[in-house]
Amino acid sequence: MSTPSRRELIADAAISTVATAGLRGLTHRAVDAAASLPTGSTSYYFRTRSALISACYLRLAELSVADMDRWEAPPGPPDRDSVAGVMAELLHHWLTEARDRQLARFELSLEATRRPELRADLQAAGLAARSRLTDLLAALGAPRPDPAAELLVAWTDGLLYDRLVGAAAATRPVPDVAELTPVVRRMLEAALAT
């Protein structure tokens, strides 16, 4: 794995800051401290707070696609069981090691609904992962892969949101891959049937 660039380091620190302190805590100075950089480093690369938020969107999208690459289905034509298993591993990763990224993503998404100038970056950030999912569903035989991908993304986001910040999130353990696999298989089957 390569060393992140200064921009990536700053974006990663900004994402971590949003996850732990919320958007109110996202300041250039806080990101400098989180990244262990000299004061003024973040503002050198991202002059405005909006530019810093946009960097978060783009970095989150880049990391999500990298996660999808990491858990690729086995070689050969995809089958529903192997795809469900791979997707369950990915969801488990997002609920555990990449938990902060998901929390930041939800918070940043809400901010974009209130600030139209941020919507374009949020929309662009989400298209790469959706495109890959559409292609995968087409390979699995979805008669309408675009709507199937939309449903699967919505259900996946709902599951992530419920398990990370939902009413019972603090009292339920994170499901393991074995628990997630049949859930993902049901979501996958339902999406493919649309």
**Rounded Cα distance, 23 and 36, in Å:** 20
Instruction: Give me the percent of the chain exceeding a pLDDT of 90.
Output: 73
- Whether the Cβ atoms of residue 12 and residue 59 lie closer than 8 Å to each other: yes
Mean pLDDT throughout 24-30?
A: 97
Mean pLDDT throughout 101-121?
A: 89
Distance from CA of residue 27 to its chain's centroid? 22
Beta strands in the chain (DSSP E): none
Mind listing the domains of the chain with CATH numbers?
Answer: 57-192 (1.10.357)
What was the pLDDT predicted at 143?
95
**Rounded Cα distance, 68 and 73, in Å:** 10
What was the pLDDT predicted at 132?
86
| pLDDT above 70 for 175 | yes
- Using 50, 70 and 90 to split pLDDT, how confident is the model at 1? low
**Rounded Cα distance, 155 and 145, in Å:** 15
What was the pLDDT predicted at 146?
95
What was the pLDDT predicted at 74?
65
- Whether the Cβ atoms of residue 108 and residue 60 lie closer than 8 Å to each other: yes
The string of pLDDT tens digits covering residues 134-152 is 999 999 999 999 999 999 9
Tokens of 77: 């034509």
User: Side chain identity at 95, as an amino acid letter?
Assistant: L
